[in-house]
């Protein structure tokens, strides 16, 4: 994490999707680094929401707008004039993409095009486009997906993220000889305090604990690359720093995944998380839309070249999530809990 303060202090940074779970954690970290923050997103779509609970609106020049609205995106980026954009705004759920494929493509593909177009015309120096480990064509090769592996996607969400990758690469090759420098970031399944989203594993277990009911789990045997939310965010920040420094070699796709030992079945993560939360789970055997059985990323490039490496093992990540939610439920400040965990993670990275 060395050098991040020097890179981001007083820097004008815009985060799309800043009202979401991952965007809120990123904004909180950038705030601790002294960045001048702007945000572009829809209003929080959960109650409670981490963005509201952590009072992040006090630190961000926030614009509430839909990235499907090209004029609104252009106006927001033109007004704030960021040096770098972290593009996280998306329709992030596989199952929702089956229900709303057109909305998913419009948000994840054309929304990305709107951000890149506005960034190109308003002098933005760097853009980090966050996609997904699901952007690859199945099945994963032995050892996990490499950045050079074919893109694809069975479901509309996964395909939309593959499209966003192709769009970013095309934009970079066609229009960005000088600026902005564009990179894409592919991360695994993130967990962290303050995630109350629908249709995600940890929030489902938290709601089950609160209701005193077992959480129905669709695919307990599916294997995923689990990591604390701070892990990929550290990668995004390191990548952004390289782009801002003018390193053309960083303008490419990057994987940010956990160690191989942290590739666990969903059911095993449920067992460990339930022990933290006092919740229970049961196997939901009803028919559900297709989801990948195995996802695995090979992050050797990020480790060797950025450099970036995972710092918290899955047990540490699960313990951090459980502690966050227990302390929040006891009345502690969400903002303080975020800052404490960022500090602990940063200390572990030294």
Q: Token digits for 104?
A: 């998913």
Nearest Cα residue to 132 out of 116, 100, 109: 109
Q: Token digits for 202?
A: 């940890």
CA distances from 87 to 67, 246, 283, 289 (A): 10, 19, 35, 28
Compute the chain's Rg from CA coordinates.
Answer: 19
Which member of 105, 136, 157, 236 is catalytic? 157
Angle between helices 334-348 and 314-329 in degrees, nearest 10:
160
Nearest Cα residue to 90 out of 158, 148, 145, 181: 158
Element housing 39 (H / E):
strand 36-41
275 contacts 321 by C-beta, under 8 angstroms? no
Annotated active-site residue 157? The verdict is: yes
Residue 314: Cβ within 10 Å count: 22
User: Which residue spans within 188-323 are E strands per DSSP?
Assistant: 189-191, 215-217, 223-228, 253-256, 263-265, 281-283
Residue entry with tokens 């459980």: 322
Nearest Cα residue to 323 out of 164, 160, 225, 192: 192
Element housing 12 (H / E):
strand 12-16
* Residues catalogued as catalytic: 157
């Amino acid at each position: 994490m060395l050098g991040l303060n020097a890179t981001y202090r007083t820097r004008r940074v815009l985060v799309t999707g800043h009202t979401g779970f991952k965007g809120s954690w990123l904004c909180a970290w950038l705030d601790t680094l002294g960045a001048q923050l702007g945000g572009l997103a829809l209003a929080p779509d959960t109650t409670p929401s981490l963005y509201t609970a952590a009072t992040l609106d006090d630190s961000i020049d926030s614009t509430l707008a839909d990235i499907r609205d090209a004029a609104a995106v252009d106006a927001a980026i033109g007004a704030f004039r960021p040096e770098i954009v972290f593009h996280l705004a998306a329709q992030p759920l596989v199952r929702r993409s089956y229900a709303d494929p057109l909305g998913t493509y419009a948000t994840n593909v054309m929304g990305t095009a709107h951000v890149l177009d506005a960034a190109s015309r308003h002098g933005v120096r760097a853009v980090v486009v966050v996609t997904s480990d699901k952007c690859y064509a199945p099945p994963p090769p032995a050892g996990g997906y490499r950045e050079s592996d074919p893109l694809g996607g069975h479901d509309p969400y996964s395909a939309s993220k593959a499209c966003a990758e192709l769009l970013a690469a095309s934009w970079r090759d066609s229009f960005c000889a000088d600026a902005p420098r564009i990179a894409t970031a592919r991360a695994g399944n993130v967990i962290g305090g303050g995630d109350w989203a629908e249709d995600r594993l940890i929030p489902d277990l938290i709601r089950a604990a609160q209701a005193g009911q077992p959480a129905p789990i669709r695919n307990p045997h599916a294997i995923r690359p689990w990591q604390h939310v701070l892990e990929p965010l550290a990668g995004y920040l390191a990548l952004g720093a390289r782009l801002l420094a003018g390193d053309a070699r960083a303008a490419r796709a990057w994987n940010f995944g956990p160690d191989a030992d942290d590739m666990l079945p969903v059911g095993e993560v449920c067992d460990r998380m339930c022990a933290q939360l006092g919740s229970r789970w049961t196997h939901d055997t009803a028919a559900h839309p297709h989801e990948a059985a195995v996802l695995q990323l090979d992050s050797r490039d990020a480790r060797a070249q950025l450099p970036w490496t995972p710092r918290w093992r899955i047990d540490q990540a699960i313990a951090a999530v459980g502690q966050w939610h227990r302390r929040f439920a006891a009345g502690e400040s969400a903002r303080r809990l975020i800052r404490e965990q960022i500090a602990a993670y940063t200390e572990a990275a030294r």
